[in-house]
Copies of this chain bind each other. A is one copy, B any other.
């Protein structure tokens, strides 16, 4: 653990559980809490500045996201990572997102296309910086692509896998100079294909977008 922030400064925002959840989630996604690391309640109390109950609650919620694993009577750990896990997530994401994207395009509406354009614009604007804000918009863009599929459960799975994957991105980013990858062209092409309702083209582009990023990251994993 390697944390240098003062105990949660945002005082009166939502419940203690919620802010603990958000903070822990972030710490795990970014790798500040390392894969496999033991998450001791007492230790986290100092970091999060709150009692044991909200932390426990937050930890249990993170189990839903597969970011934390619970060991019966012996506490919690940040979920582990492995090359195998990374590959698996990549493959599964390609399959599931393809399904969702095709459905989405089938159900396309003008409003949806407009939403996509806006969301894409917002993301592009932040492209250069690779800031946290860019990451937020990037996820929104990808999830909006899928958002017109009619299956909430499928979307939930995609969202979950997205987060698990982005964790590897962060981990790669910190142990190396993973940066250079240019993705704006690929996003643009996907958007264009979707707007033209070219289902086959769109899903091919989306999958190869993921596969390229995956290949790029592979070198930095494990």
Q: Could you mark each residue 116-147 of chain A with 1 if its beta carbon is under 8 Å from any beta carbon of chain B, else 0?
A: 00000000000000000000000000000000
* Distance between Cα atoms of A150 and B89 in the complex (Å): 11
Chain A binding site: helix, strand, loop or mixed by DSSP? helix
Question: In the complex, are the beta carbons of B60 and A92 less than 8 A apart?
Answer: no
Q: Which of A92-117 contact B (CB under 8 A)?
A: 92, 95, 99
> For this complex, into which size category does the number of interface residues on chain A fall?
20 to 34
Instruction: Identify the closest chain B residue to A103 (Cβ).
Output: B91
| Interface residue A179 (Cβ < 8 Å from any Cβ of B) | no
Q: Could you mark each residue 46-64 of chain A with 1 if its beta carbon is under 8 Å from any beta carbon of chain B, else 0?
A: 0000000100110011011
Q: Which of A146-161 contact B (CB under 8 A)?
A: 150-154, 157, 161
Return A86 CB to nearest CB of chain B, in Å.
11
- Whether A92 contacts B153 in the complex (CB less than 8 A), given A61-B60, A63-B64, A64-B64, comes out as yes
Chain B residue contacts of A63, Cβ below 8 A:
60-61, 64
* Distance between Cα atoms of A195 and B115 in the complex (Å): 49
Question: In the complex, are the beta carbons of B152 and A88 less than 8 A apart?
Answer: yes
* Distance between Cα atoms of A64 and B59 in the complex (Å): 12
* Distance between Cα atoms of A70 and B66 in the complex (Å): 17
* Distance between Cα atoms of A91 and B100 in the complex (Å): 12
Chain B residue contacts of A56, Cβ below 8 A:
57
Chain B residue contacts of A12, Cβ below 8 A:
none
Chain B residue contacts of A91, Cβ below 8 A:
151
Assuming A57-B57, A88-B153, what are 8 further A-B pairs, CB within 8 angstroms? A14-B72, A53-B53, A61-B70, A63-B64, A88-B150, A88-B152, A91-B151, A153-B164
Residues of A within 8 A of B (CB): 14-15, 18, 53, 56-57, 60-61, 63-64, 66, 70, 72-73, 88-89, 91-92, 95, 99, 150-154, 157, 161, 164
